[in-house]
């Protein structure tokens, strides 16, 4: 996440909220990836069961959490980050 703008989903596969959110995240990604990549807006996800140190460094205290990074700097959680509309609106206005 050192270059560009990133929306990063932090999740746990054992968390029911993360599993419920997964289709929304996938839809946002599939709808926007080609449109936003030329604008240096990218998507990533971190499995906190596998990459606990990354989640700890990002101060993730619940799942799922979507965080906005710009040039490697954590800019905070995306407001309303679990709704399709909020994520699309935020991503398109970066």
pLDDT digits (tens, 9 = 90+) for 7-49: 999 999 999 999 999 999 999 999 999 999 889 999 999 999 9
Q: Which 8-state DSSP code applies to residue 4?
A: S
What pLDDT is recorded for position 80?
A: 84
How far from 49 is each of 13, 53, 60, CA to CA, in Å?
8, 10, 12
Distance of CA 90 to the CA centre of its chain: 11
Q: What is the mean pLDDT of the chain?
A: 94
What pLDDT is recorded for position 1?
A: 58
What pLDDT is recorded for position 81?
A: 78
Classify 16 as helix, strand or coil.
helix
Q: Can you give the pTM of this predicted structure? A: 0.92
């Amino acid at each position: 996440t050192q270059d560009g703008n990133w929306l990063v989903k932090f999740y746990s596969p054992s968390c029911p909220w993360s599993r419920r959110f997964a289709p929304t995240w996938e839809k946002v990604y599939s709808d926007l990836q080609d449109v936003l990549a030329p604008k240096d807006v990218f998507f990533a996800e971190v499995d906190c069961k596998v990459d606990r140190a990354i989640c700890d460094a990002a101060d993730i205290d619940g799942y799922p959490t979507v965080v906005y990074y710009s040039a490697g700097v954590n800019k905070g959680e995306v407001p309303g980050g679990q709704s399709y509309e909020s994520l699309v609106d935020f991503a398109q206005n970066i």
